[in-house]
Each structure stands twice: as C-alpha cells, then as structure tokens.
Amino acid sequence: MGAPVSLGDVSDLKSEDEKRRLFLVTAEDTPDALMRVLGVASVQQVRLRALIAQPDGADISIRLEIDDQGDARAQTLAARLASVPAVRGVGHGWR
C-alpha cells in the first residue's frame, strides 16, 4: 500500500489561473478553414496557448488549447466554432 497523500504532494495540480480548455475541431480541408476557426477564437477574445493543425483525410484536425474562461464561455466558443461553414464537428473539455 502507498503512503497517504499530503497537501505537499499535489503540487502538480493546476491553480485556477492555469486551467486550460482543449477544443478539438474537425473541418473540411479548405484553404481558409484554419483561418476561419482562428477568426472565431480571435473574435471571442480567447488566449490561445497551443495550436496543432494537421490533415486528416479530406478534413483538417485542429487542436486549440486556451486559457479557461468558465463553462459559459466554453459553450459559447464551441457553438460559434460549430457554426463555421467548413466545420464538421467540435469537441471540448479540460486539458
């Protein structure tokens, strides 16, 4: 059996200021798909911390990691991303 965990052992947990959200977007691989997705993020004034975009068959897979701004803001961003014409799907959660 392992030793009990003390408060000193949870130093790897993120503080409120460091929480991040991860958005996974699948879009048609058109020349402007990535810019459309980033445009939505810009208009919503999110702080982008990481971005990975790569082809996935006829689509492009876009991974956005942003600073957390609460559940309501995450839902709004997900809905706005889903409304982009080239976007086929949006998923999001905690990083």
Banded model confidence at residue 94, pLDDT cuts 50, 70, 90: confident
Backbone dihedral angles phi then psi of residue 82, each to the nearest 5 degrees: -65, -25
- Token pair, residue 42, equals 């810009």
Is beta strand 20-28 parallel, antiparallel or unpaired with respect to 59-67?
antiparallel
* pLDDT at residue 17, as a whole number: 57
pLDDT, tens digit, 9 for 90 and up, residues 1-44: 444 433 444 444 445 557 899 999 999 999 999 999 999 999 99
- The CA-based angle 19-22-26, given to 5 degrees, is 170
Q: Tell me the pTM.
A: 0.79
Task: Report pLDDT for 95.
Answer: 73
Q: What percent of the chain has pLDDT over 70?
A: 82
Tell me the domain boundaries of the chain: 19-94
* Mean of pLDDT values over 39-68: 95
Q: Report the alpha-carbon distance of residue 9 to residue 50 in Å, rounded.
A: 27
| Buried-state track 31-67, b at ≥16 Cβ within 10 A, e below 16 | eebbebbeebbeeeebeeeeeebeeeeebbebebebe
**Percent of the chain with pLDDT strictly greater than 90:** 77
CATH fold of the domain at 19-94: Alpha-Beta Plaits (3.30.70)
